[in-house]
Amino acid sequence: MAGEIPRKRIISKEVAYAQQEIWKFILGFTPTAVVKCAIELGIPDILENHQTPMTLAELASKIGCNQSSLYRIMRFLIHYKIFQEKHVFETSVVGYAQTPLSRLLTRHGENSMADLVLLESTPVMLAPWQKLSAWVLDNKQLPFDAAHGTDLWGFTAANPGHSKLFDDGMACDARVGVAAVIAGCPEVFEGLKTMVDVGGGDGTALRLIVEACPWIHGINYDLPHVVAVAPTSTGVEHVGGNMFDYIPKADAAYFMKVLHDWKDEECIGILKKCRKAIPQDTGKVIIVENVIGQKEDNEFNDVGLMLDMVMMAHTTNGKERTLKEWSYLFHEAGFTRSPPPLPLPGTTVAAGNHHRRQEPPPHPPLPSPTATHLHPPPPATSSATHLYRQPPPTSTITHHHPPPPLPPPRTT
Ligand SMILES: C[S@@+](CC[C@H](N)C(=O)[O-])C[C@H]1O[C@@H](n2cnc3c(N)ncnc32)[C@H](O)[C@@H]1O
- Ligand 1 contact via 74 beta carbon (within 6 Å): no
* Atom 4, ligand 1: residue with shortest CA distance: 201
Instruction: Give the pLDDT of residue 31.
Output: 98
Tell me if the pTM is above 0.90.
no
pLDDT at 318 over 50: yes
Q: Are 335 and 271 in contact (CB under 8 A)?
A: yes
- Ligand 1 contact via 334 beta carbon (within 6 Å): no
Name which of 288, 87, 16 is nearest 178 in CA terms. 288
Atom of ligand 1 nearest to the CA of 260: 1
Neighbouring-strand partners of residue 127: none
Alpha-carbon gap, residue 43 to 187, rounded angstroms? 40
- Ligand 1 contact via 261 beta carbon (within 6 Å): yes
Catalytic residue status for 187: no
Alpha-carbon gap, residue 98 to 80, rounded angstroms? 13
* Atom 10, ligand 1: residue with shortest CA distance: 258
- ipTM more than 0.85? yes
Q: How far apart are the first and last CA of the chain?
A: 86
Instruction: Give the pLDDT of residue 340.
Output: 60
273 φ, ψ to 5°?
A: -60, -35
Ligand 1 mutation target, pool 156, 223, 289, 310, most atoms within 8 A of CB: 223
pLDDT band at residue 316, thresholds of 50, 70 and 90? confident
362 alpha carbon – ligand 1 mean position (Å) = 28
Name which of 299, 297, 274 is nearest 287 in CA terms. 274
Atom of ligand 1 nearest to the CA of 226: 25
Instruction: Give the pLDDT of residue 411.
Output: 36
For the stretch 333-352, pLDDT in tens is 988 666 566 554 333 434 34
Whole-number Cα distances in Å, 248 to 184, 191, 223, 227, 262: 27, 19, 13, 14, 20
The residues near 367 (Cβ < 8 Å, ≥ 6 apart) are: 324, 325, 327, 328
Catalytic residue status for 260: yes
For the stretch 4-25, pLDDT in tens is 766 666 788 999 999 999 999 9
pLDDT at 60 over 70: yes
189 alpha carbon – ligand 1 mean position (Å) = 21
- Mean pLDDT of the region 68-93: 95
C-alpha torsion angle, residues 180, 215, 257, 388 (rounded to 10) = -30
- Mean pLDDT of the region 214-234: 98
- Mean pLDDT of the region 203-219: 98
- Mean pLDDT of the region 73-83: 98
Grouping H, G, I as helix, E, B as strand and the rest as coil, residue 149 is coil
For the stretch 145-164, pLDDT in tens is 999 999 999 999 999 999 99
The residues near 55 (Cβ < 8 Å, ≥ 6 apart) are: 88, 93, 94, 95, 96
Instruction: Give the pLDDT of residue 2.
Output: 62
- Ligand 1 contact via 142 beta carbon (within 6 Å): no
pLDDT at 378 over 50: no
For the stretch 273-293, pLDDT in tens is 999 999 987 888 999 988 888
- DSSP state letter for 394: E
pLDDT band at residue 294, thresholds of 50, 70 and 90? low
Residues of the chain with pLDDT > 90, as a percent, come to 66
Ligand 1 mutation target, pool 170, 175, 176, 247, most atoms within 8 A of CB: 170
pLDDT at 360 over 70: no
100 alpha carbon – ligand 1 mean position (Å) = 29
CA 273 and chain centroid, separation? 23
Catalytic residue status for 225: no
